[in-house]
Amino acid sequence: MRTIEHANRIRIAIIGGGSVVFCQTLIGDILAGATKAVDFTLMAPTTVRTSVMAAWAESLIRAEGLSATVSVLTDQREAVRHADYVIATFNIGGLRATECDYEIPMRHGVDQCVGDTLGPGGIFRAQRAIPVATQLARDISELCPRAVLLNYVNPMAMICWALGDGPVTTVGLCHGVQVSLDLIAGYTGVPKQEIEYLSAGINHMAWFLRLQHRGSDLYPLLRERFEHPEYYANEKVRGELFRHFGYFMTESTAHLSEYLPYFRKNPAALTDYCDELDSGTETGAEVKWSRMVAERWKDGELVDMHPTLGQPSSEYGPRIIEAIETGQQFHFQGNVINRGMIVNLPPDCCVEGPMIADGSGLHQVIAGELPSCCAALNLTNINVQRLAVEAALDGDPEALVHACAVDPLTSAVLTLREIREMAGEMLDAQREWLPQFAGRRIRTLPSIPIPEGTRRAEVPLDPSLAVAARFGQLAEIEGRSGSRPAVRERGAI
């Protein structure tokens, strides 16, 4: 812990420092807090965007008369050298990779709206990001081993799982809980700051296990609200899951529609649940948004070069840094290796649950046990995450196919052969970003035609198949004779 007036300045490296959303938000929030003597380093492979973001940050620093500094680097190792905090906001492959994540599955019949956390898009985004994240962790371990790594890169759970229990203190941060609490406050009429809650699960699929206001349960009112069309229409997917499983989730209707097999598997489901324009559930919403951002970036519309410090956002990262620097406790939701935080999820998976930041670092809080139905839904996503992480770390094309094959949405739409073909096409299209798969391809398994009249191989049958075969023979005899065979005594078959 340092005091606010400490002589040593705080050094923060932002890897992916050209992120127009995260970079501006996080720098502004950090400088609006108690820790203003900050040296920022913005790192990306090129300076096309980081130079613009640095100019924006310098304008803010001058306007507010702060002692902070900003520098730009293209070398990751130099960027993290001696850093106190490292913030990851990178997106490997950018718009072109995002288009591949969406367009190829769509040609095969898998309809995604975001595609950054699960589904074929999330699985391949993990393949691009995990090697970069693990190299970043190795650089931190060597060059600034006491630094805290704050990860904002999706797919959050897969990346944090891949980083595992290594020597680098790592936590993944998302704003799903904060945004969901805003919605719950609106639905119930209770001020957000007065809502007492416990949330636990996995990233983008955590559950509000407790919602209270001054000791009273808010769930009966929230359930009653979602039986009315004016509330249900706001969030059909999350509302429908809430009605059937009993717990409100921390992720938006758009994201959630991709993580389960119910809502995007056919045109009827899409019409029923994903038909609200500008809700994020529409087909290809993330690609459309990314293209818009790219156009506005080229036109210079996204960066205001006359910034001032405003009201801090709800992002956790800046407040975690302030808590560690000042010693004041801060409670938040973090993504870390389970280690028993949630007892009925695998101990080695990445979970999202309650944590505390203070002058001694980051601390997990035991959340306990999820309701069985909630844990079951989480496990369908954890299975995909495990296989995708194995594929990324080992460069194993078969694990990549298996991850796609157990994905809830993909498996609701495609056969195994179709999934293999889709994954192979995606791997070939993205090889420039996937060095771990160099020289390795997804095997082609052609269909096996069965000619008419093929005699089955003579093999031992298990008892149930033997019974079925015997009944088939009896039916054939009956069909030839036109009479019903006599009923045998019990146990004769």
Catalytically active residues are 175, 259
What residues have CB less than 8 Å from 162, skipping those under 6 apart? 126, 130, 133, 134, 389, 392, 393
- Contacting residues for 14 by C-beta, under 8 A, at least 6 apart: 23, 26, 27, 40, 41, 42, 43, 86, 87, 89
Phi-psi region of 374 (alpha: psi -120 to 50; beta: other; left: phi over 0): alpha
Cα angle vertex 354, ends 348, 357, to 5°?
105
What is the three-class DSSP state of 448? coil
Bridge pairing between strands 361-364 and 350-358: antiparallel
Task: At 170, list the tokens.
Answer: 């790592």
Strands (E), 66-121: 69-73, 85-88
Rounded Cα distance, 490 and 477, in Å: 20
φ, ψ at 298 (rounded to 5°):
-60, -35
Nearest to 408 by CA among 154, 107, 119, 158: 119
- The encoded tokens of residue 45 equal 């492979």
Judge whether 100 and 121 are in contact, CB under 8 Å: no
* Sign of the torsion formed by the C-alpha atoms of 257, 261, 266 and 272: negative
Report helix, strand or coil for 187: helix
As given in the structure block, the two tokens for residue 75 are 């070398």
Residue 136 to residue 258: CA distance in whole angstroms: 29
- Under 8 Å between Cβ of 56 and 307: yes
Which uninterrupted H or E stretch holds 32? helix 22-32
DSSP assignment string, 246-283 = S--BSS-HHHHHHHSSSSSSSHHHHHHHS--TTSS-ST
Cross-strand pairs, 195? 213
Angstrom distance (rounded) from CA 122 to CA 129: 10
342: left (phi over 0), alpha (psi -120 to 50) or beta: beta
**289, 467, 473, 493 from 483: Cα distances, Å:** 69, 21, 14, 19
